[in-house]
Amino acid sequence: MKKRKGIAVLLILILSLAVTACGDRYGVKEGESYIYCMNTDKTGLVKVAAKISGNSAIKKAESVIDEMKKPTNEIEYTQAIPEQVKLLDCALKGSILEINFSEEYYEVKSLDEKLMRAAIVQSLLQIDGIDAVSVRVEGEPLKDDEGNEVGLMNEDDIVDTTGSSLSSYQSDTLKLYFADQNGSKLVKQKVDVHYSSNVLKEKLIVEKLMQGPSEEGAYPTINPAANLLSVTTKDGICYVNFDSTFLISAYDVLPEITIYSIVDSLVEGTGVRQVQITINGESNAKYMEKVDLSQPLNEEQDWIAADNKE
């Protein structure tokens, strides 16, 4: 894309002589509220000061979207959401914000849409009470270029907002553990996946576990009504954060089978050493009043069926 550095320098000098309301927005001061806009070349995001109004998370979210749609004549950035893309409604379900856009959303070019989505998610997550964002278009879940539902998004999903990596995809084979017919042992299934490089592999594994097995001989372990709020890896520990619905079992399986389907799949599939499962960010919980979740858990192969061990 054609660069505009020379023009930018000249115009900045001119604009420095006349400070405008928009000019004050670039360069966020400590404690100021802000939104994300696209840089001029649409290769990354720029943090911009914004007045966010409202006395509830919903009202603040609506204010953020309004701010992100405002046209700008600034050199350093451009609005993240085109004016023709309308916000139809939004709802807060627990700590998950569901936003519903008009059909014009799908008219945004693919790479621009990825940046727009990143800007939306990062702008909304600064609001207290919002831990994850779900985007819908005309009431239907947002789908990516491959036709897959994008699902819940949080800061862990926005890996890179500065270039071509936003559009790259990779293939892999996941080894996932589900329940056997009796719900007392783990059985392994291999699943071929093609996914965006912006999606953490750890998060992908948990999402696939939540979807359940694709072949016969294995059974689901995780309540499908549960919401996955975030997945983060640090210092060899994978932190998997669910909402409280996770604690309610939907299947006739041992509590340990549900927990270690997650732990063993992540440890074997990603190289993390331990898995810490949290509920709404808190670790002081027991799954089905039996499995202590207060500490990170190690892989436990005793729960794996003998003919599934390598």
Average pLDDT taken over every residue of the chain: 83
Q: Give 92's strand partners.
A: 97
121-151 pLDDT tens trace: 989 999 998 988 989 999 999 988 777 788 8
Report yes or no: 170 and 148 within 8 Å, Cβ to Cβ: no
53-110 pLDDT tens trace: 999 999 999 999 999 999 887 777 889 999 999 999 999 988 889 999 999 999 998 8
Model-level pTM? Answer: 0.59
Mean pLDDT computed over 114-126: 91
Highest mean pLDDT among 14-18, 150-154, 197-201: 150-154
d(CA 15, CA 11): 6
What are the angstrom distances between the C-alpha of 280 and each of 116, 118, 203, 239, 242? 27, 23, 16, 12, 6
3-34 pLDDT tens trace: 444 434 333 333 333 333 333 455 677 778 89
